[in-house]
Every structure is written in structure tokens, then in C-alpha cells.
Structure 1
Amino acid sequence: MTTDKAALRTRLLAARDAMSPFVESQAIGALAESMYALPVDLTEGDTVAAYVATSREPGGTAMLDALVDRGLRVLLPIVPEGGPQRLQWGVYGGERALESGRWNLLEPQGLRLDPDTLVQAKLILVPAVAVDRRGVRLGRGAGYYDRTLAGMSAPIVAVVHDTELVDFDLPEEDTDVRAHWILTPSGGFQPVR
């Protein structure tokens, strides 16, 4: 198995693109259902950081709506202008309140919150191209999440499709921030080893 990040990323994203719409739909439903069985105790009004899934990324707005249904405040990332840096945040107000931002990523409308707003989160859900059982994530390569997650005390959950939880060690750099939990559609929340 190759440990070259770029080659591995290309292979995994190609497999994601080849996923059938039925499997993708099933994954979206299973991940939304998982939001009712979070691995940490939260009460109404607590903050969870999440993300808006891009093409074929696991999640979808159903996952966000399930968190809101539980009475939780959901923060979503906003990519700032310029080179890779810490993400800004906005409060999720439903699918209709999302607008196209940088790189055509959907972002919440309204007030942009400082990157330090993330310290309010009791749980942080992040996308990944893959994750290994140690919690090492393979992302898109720019490092926005690693910059943002450095020093955060809230548990970090890497959300991936079932086939993207790999049984080999992903390459890791000193600046990479590991996940504490892994969430897959079939396996639900799994602690890292």
C-alpha cells in the first residue's frame, strides 16, 4: 500500500467519486442518525462544530439538521481569503441560509466569527479523505483544519465513508492534529486506539 499522500488522496477520492448514489444516500441517513448517539454528553444549547459536505464527502445537511434538532448550536467553517490559515466560523441556520463562498464551498450567511470561537465547541466533527485507527487524518492537503484544531481541547471526530477508515498507518507530519474518534456510516462512533 502506498504511503505517498498525493497518490493515496487521488486513489481514495476516485473511489469516492465512483460511489453509487444509493450507497451515498444510505451513508447520509446513517450519519444523521449517529448525531443522536454522540460520544460525549451534551445538553441543549451546547456548541458542536461541524462542516458542510462537499461533493461526495460524508455527511450532508441531514447530519447538521439532526444536531439542530437536538437543540445544539452548530458552527460551520468559513474559509478566509489568502493562504492557508485558521478557519473562521459561522452559525448554521439551515440549508437555505448557506451560500457559496471561497472555492464554491457552502458557508453560513451572516456574521463571521473569529477562529478562537471554536473553543466554545464541546465536540468537533471534521471531514477527511481517510483516517487510520490511530486517528491520523488524510485531508485535502492545505492544512486549514490542522491549523484550526491545534490546541483545541474538545474531542475531534473524523467523519469518513466506511472504506476510508484504513487499517494501515497513514503518513503523519508534526503539524497534523489527530482525531479522538472516528465516525463511519456502518460503524458509528469508534474511539481511536
Structure 2
Amino acid sequence: MTSGHDGDKAALRLAVRRRRAGADEATRREAADRHAGLVGAVLDLRPGAAATVACYASIGDEPRTAPLRAALAARGVEVLLPWLRPDLDLDWVRDPGPAATTGREHALRPPGDRLGPDAVGRCGVVVVPALAVDAAGTRLGQGGGSYDRALARLRASPAGAAVPVVAVLSCAEELLPGAALPRETHDVAVDAVLLPDGLRVLRGQPDEGEPAGHGRS
């Protein structure tokens, strides 16, 4: 039986997927380039402490991350990508570059030596996919629970409590007002969202919800 919350999430997932599927190629490229242009704001969330950043290889209609990954690498940042295990938990590999992560299988399981699920704990910033996020930081994923486990592991690591988690959204409509999404006990809130028009900090700042800077599941 599906709870009311589960039904609401399913409807919202469907709505976001349909909107993303309707975006044209020029809109997708522009959003990806704008996200990449905000790399400095992302790193400034942990000044001097973001030598390694977790990101992800986008698939399907997800906001494209290849330009953001390239921008991080151009600044000398080590980028880790998730490797989806059969149990839907996440291992991690060093980013082999966009050319090596084309196609769904290589995006979900990038080539390279696996570093272990705990490797996320060495990251200074963690960038995650999302279908939507509300102003309280609750994230709507694809429903598989992969990032729920990875983010719980991050928070349990020695320095994990201080690591900002940033969700990538394709447009402002995916940032929902208030506490619009139900938060389950296993949900780990995100601290900021990366939109094409800026990085918006949601938690841990005096001016909650004000823009900072301009410009898998």
C-alpha cells in the first residue's frame, strides 16, 4: 500500500521528469554552462577545505554535470564520482572525465579503481542529484535510497558534519517553498542548491535562503 506521502512524491517526481524531458538542447547546455560558472561559489562553501569534491555523472534528463566537473578539475580539485553497487549503495571512483562516462552504464559505474563507500568522507563538498528540494533542505531523489545511505555515511565520518551538501537543480521551479516535502527519519538535508542563476544557501547561514554568488537517487 502506498502512503499519502509516497503518492505525493511519486506525482512530483513524474511532474519534474516530464518538465525536464521537455527542455530543448539549447536550454540544457545553457543551464550546464551556468552551473559550471558557479564553481567558485561552490568551493567557497568550504574555503581552503575542498581539495576533493564528490560530484556525479549525469544521466537521462538530469542537469548535465560534465561542464561542472571540468570546471572543478581545471581548479585542481580531485573529483570523485559514485559507482552504483548491486545493492544500490554507492562506492566511489576518481572522475575519469566526461568522455569515459558517456552512456548510462558508464555514468552509473564509471571506469577506474573503486575507492570504497567511505571515500565520500574525505570530500570537502558533496554535489548530489535531485529532482526537487524544499527551502528546509529536504531533497527529493529518484527513490532508490542510494544517496540516503551515502549521505548518512558522510555525516557519520569524523569531519562529515561540516561538509556542505549541494543539490543540482535545472530551474527555480524545482526549489519548493517552505517545508513542502515530507522528511523521513533517514533523510539527510542538503545545505544548498545549485541553480542556473546562482548558488542558494538553505542552511547554516545567518541569512537563510539568500543567494550566495551569482551568475543515484
TM-score by length of 2: 0.80
Equivalent in the alignment of 1:77: 82
Equivalent in the alignment of 1:41: 47
Counterpart of 1:191 (choices 198, 202, 207) is 202
- How do residues 22-33 of structure 1 correspond to structure 2 at under 5 angstroms? 22-33=26-37
Q: Percent identity?
A: 35
Contact 2:132 2:176 in 1 (8 A): yes
**Does residue 175 of the first structure (1) align with residue 186 of the second (2)?**
yes
Distance 2:151 2:75 in 1: 24
Distance 2:28 2:134 in 1: 21
Contact 1:99 1:108 in 2 (8 A): no
Secondary structure of 1:93 counterpart: coil
Equivalent in the alignment of 2:97: 94
Shift in Å, 1:110: 1.6
Runs ≥4 residues deviating over 4 A:
99-102
Distance 1:42 1:135 in 2: 24
Equivalent in the alignment of 1:158: 167
Q: Give the CA RMSD over aligned residues.
A: 2.0
Equivalent in the alignment of 2:22: 18
Residue 66 of structure 1 aligns with an amino acid whose one-letter code is: A
Distance 1:25 1:99 in 2: 16
Contact 1:49 1:76 in 2 (8 A): yes
Shift in Å, 1:51: 0.5
Q: Aligned in 2, Cα 1:100/1:55: closer, same or farther, shift over 3 Å?
A: closer
Counterpart of 2:143 (choices 141, 144, 148) is 141
- Per-residue Cα deviation, 1:136-177 (whole angstroms, up to 9, x for no partner): 000000100001110421111111122211125112211111
Residue 175 of structure 2 aligns with an amino acid whose one-letter code is: L
Residue 35 of structure 2 aligns with an amino acid whose one-letter code is: L
Equivalent in the alignment of 1:113: 115
Residue 40 of structure 1 aligns with an amino acid whose one-letter code is: R
Equivalent in the alignment of 2:127: 125
Shift in Å, 1:99: 6.1
Distance 1:101 1:57 in 2: 12
Secondary structure of 2:82 counterpart: strand
Runs of at least 5 residues in structure 1 that lack an aligned partner in the other structure: none
Point out the structure with the larger helix share.
2
Contact 1:132 1:170 in 2 (8 A): yes
Contact 1:99 1:107 in 2 (8 A): no
